[in-house]
Amino acid sequence: MIAGLDLSAEMQMSAATPPMGELKTHNHLLGDRPALDTAWERDGYWFFRGVLDAGAVGRLRQVYIDELERQGVIDPVGEAPTDKSVRYNGVSLAAYPFRMEPIAARAPWRSFVAEPPIRAFFTRLFGEEPFWVPVVEYRATPPQQDPARSRFDGVHQDGPYSPGIPFRICWIPLAEIDSDVGGLALVEGLTERINRHPLADGSNTAIPVDSLPADAWRRTTYQAGDVLLMNLWTPHSGLSNRSDRFRLSMDHRVMGRSEGCPLVGQLLAIDATSVTLVAEGREIILRLDADTYVRNDVGRKLAGDAIGEFYKPGQEVIVAFDGNRATVVRPPH
Ligand SMILES: O=C(O)CCC(=O)C(=O)O
Ligand SMILES: [Fe+2]
């Protein structure tokens, strides 16, 4: 199971990892939106090197370090710098929270995106205020226990899991992520809006590596301060961590305020025909139909009674809509 997605196939079947080329950097295009848009459609991503304020990234990283110390899986770091990441001390991971629920519960993304230099960077990038879709994964990935398995955690596109929400994936390394630590690898130049996932019983399964061009894989040695934004249709995968350190990253979803943002609010009621929520200070009712992608926390489409069994009044929901019809209903995490 990949954090956040159920790709049905437990892990990528292919054993061989294709060669990894170096990501392009798009820093020189900042401030030129038409050129950025062209690069987005051509490359399927924007990679900006060293643009996020070191203090802000460091404060977010500290939340992870504190939690790793609390879990007892790193030795206390004291005043030592952590921007090269921290070493796993080998303590059992039997109780380790692989989806970082203790961090997710504190939602440190809120204070991170409110940091003035972070807000300023994204406002400049979009030419307007960013809207942060509260779909966030906090990854503190320990060294991979089984070196025999594929390095790909699971090749996927995010688009098929959130149809109708035109966000950009925003993947933020919080400490150095070199080729041993793994990090994120993507296929450059595949931006066609098609679902490349084979379906099994109506659910997406991992994209077979051999269905993708072998010479288009890209990654880099990521540093704190870098940010990678990805197109919804860009195939990508986490790479397993073969180092002795933790891989620290946060992946978030972002869009411009004017780009058809979903509603984010508190659920009042839901069944197979309608959803009622409080968002933007008012009560909103939207129609659901069989095509509405009402999904659970691992991306499975729910129907009929399963909707009411999964969703509970009071919880936070993200709802995309078209007129008075909901197109997507999903939980934040
Ligand atoms: O960080 C990872 O391992 C995967 C991230 C990812 O799939 C995403 O940000 O959409
Ligand atoms: Fe993804």
- According to the model, what pLDDT value does residue 6 have? 57
The span from the CA of 216 to the CA of 197, in Å, is 18
- According to the model, what pLDDT value does residue 200 have? 86
Reference 135, options 236, 4, 8; nearest CA is 4
The span from the CA of 224 to the CA of 217, in Å, is 22
- According to the model, what pLDDT value does residue 106 have? 94
**Alpha-carbon Rg for the chain in angstroms:** 20
Ligand 1 atom nearest the C-alpha of 236 is 7
Residues with C-beta atoms within 5 A of ion ligand 2: 158
Torsion 82-84-85-90 (CA) sign? negative
How many other CB atoms are there within 10 angstroms of residue 304's CB atom? 10
- Non-local CB neighbours of 52 within 8 Å, separated by 6+ positions: 117, 118, 121, 172, 224, 225, 226, 227
- According to the model, what pLDDT value does residue 9 have? 45
For ligand 1, atom 7, name the residue with the nearest CA.
237
Output the CA 3–ligand 1 centroid distance in Å: 8
Ligand 1 atom nearest the C-alpha of 252 is 9
Ligand 1 atom nearest the C-alpha of 137 is 9
The span from the CA of 142 to the CA of 163, in Å, is 31
List the chain domain ranges: 21-256, 263-330
234 within ligand 1 shell (Cβ under 6 A) = no
Indicate yes or no: pTM above 0.85.
yes
153 within ligand 1 shell (Cβ under 6 A) = yes
- According to the model, what pLDDT value does residue 160 have? 86
Q: Are 176 and 224 in contact (CB under 8 A)?
A: yes
Ligand 1 atom nearest the C-alpha of 238 is 3
For ligand 1, atom 9, name the residue with the nearest CA.
251
Residue with tokens 């890209």: 218
> Mutation test of ligand 1: which of 251, 252, 253, 298 has the most ligand atoms closer than 8 Å to its C-beta?
251
The span from the CA of 21 to the CA of 205, in Å, is 25
Kind plus residue range of the DSSP H or E element containing 59:
helix 54-71
Output the CA 96–ligand 2 centroid distance in Å: 22
Class of domain 21-256: mainly beta
Q: Are 191 and 46 in contact (CB under 8 A)?
A: no
Domains 21-256 and 263-330 share a fold: no
> Helix %, strand %, coil % for the chain, to 5?
20, 30, 50
184 within ligand 1 shell (Cβ under 6 A) = yes
- According to the model, what pLDDT value does residue 8 have? 46
171 within ligand 1 shell (Cβ under 6 A) = yes
> Mutation test of ligand 1: which of 133, 236, 240 has the most ligand atoms closer than 8 Å to its C-beta?
236
- According to the model, what pLDDT value does residue 12 have? 55
247 within ligand 1 shell (Cβ under 6 A) = no
Which CATH architecture does the domain made up of 263-330 adopt?
Answer: Beta Barrel (2.40)
- According to the model, what pLDDT value does residue 254 have? 97
The span from the CA of 301 to the CA of 204, in Å, is 11
Retrieve residue 56's tokens: 């802000």
Ligand nearest to the CA of 240: 1
User: For each successive 10 residues of the chain (333 residues), what is the average pLDDT?
Assistant: 50 70 98 97 98 98 98 97 97 94 96 98 96 95 82 92 86 97 97 93 88 97 98 96 97 94 96 96 96 89 94 96 94 84
